[in-house]
Structure 1
Amino acid sequence: MRALIFSFVFILSSTYWLTGCANESAASASQKLKIIPELQNLQTLGEQAREKNLPILLAFGAEWCAFCHQLRDEVLNPMMLSGRYDGKYMYMRYVSLDDRNPIPGFDGRPIRKDQWGESYGVDLTPTVLFIDGNGNEVAPRLVGIANIELYAAMIHKALNTAYNKMGNSLRIPAMPEDLD
């Protein structure tokens, strides 16, 4: 009987330990996938965008949204990792609508990301907005994912629209693979 109890406790503790390791590695893998920076400060970001006259790409998403993870993992993170976009053609930030902590708005006053998203009419995720350094939309928004393979090209098209609307002579090739 004692051997049976010992075996049961051993199996139970081993299962608990292995599950903990799996959850820890899954959590760390999930953290590694969050490469596009989370929006932390609109005031600073707006100043940077105004200084360079670059648009800001804001990807609104939620933790429960599988398409948001797909967009981040397959399009936005590779764009960030390339080092060719952020601060050169645009500023890119992810806006988690699950985050209820206030951040500084364009005017420095605290705002909540979910409420700020609502003020732009963001009610579906993922939604990608293109705004200038003052918070004005400067290109058509992208809502949902129609074709993930062409999503980066759709971003490029929106960026060229934004440059034109912002009076910026910068242009970006239609296809990401043509970007040097």
Structure 2
Amino acid sequence: MSNVNSSRKPSNVEKLGGRGQTIGSVEDYLKRKRSDTEKEQDEAGIFEKSKRTVRSPNKTRADTLPVKNQEMDELKRLILSTSANLKKEIKNNFNQTAKINEDLKFLREEMRIREVEWRKEKELWNQEKNELMEKVKILQEKLEQQEKKTKETIYRVPT
């Protein structure tokens, strides 16, 4: 049996003299406890800290762009023509808006004038109505008086 034990490598626990004693550094313990994915990430160098801070993506200069000068000139012409067309359209819209505003002012003024005329006509109609009502009253009174007279003459005993 001693041959079997001697060929065997003693464990850390046996070296330290029993259970409950520290086996090694905390770092060694944590390395053993890590999962496989963390080990793979460490090996890939994913979590290594960068020595320089990247503030913005790589910028390209205008002369290093792959667009040729002809294409740039065509783009400039297209942009200029589009902006000129937009300016014309905006100017036309502005002129149309001004005309519409003038028409609106004219229509409002005309509406105000017609409203004044309508009020005058309404006032005249009311006057005519009142005059006619007065005439009707006078005629009714005359009719009533005549009816009284006729009744008196009919019921009057001739003497």
Q: Same fold (TM over 0.5)?
A: no
Which is richer in helix?
Answer: 2
> Which structure would you say has the larger Rg?
2
TM-score normalised to the size of structure 2? 0.26
Normalising by structure 1, we get a TM-score of 0.23
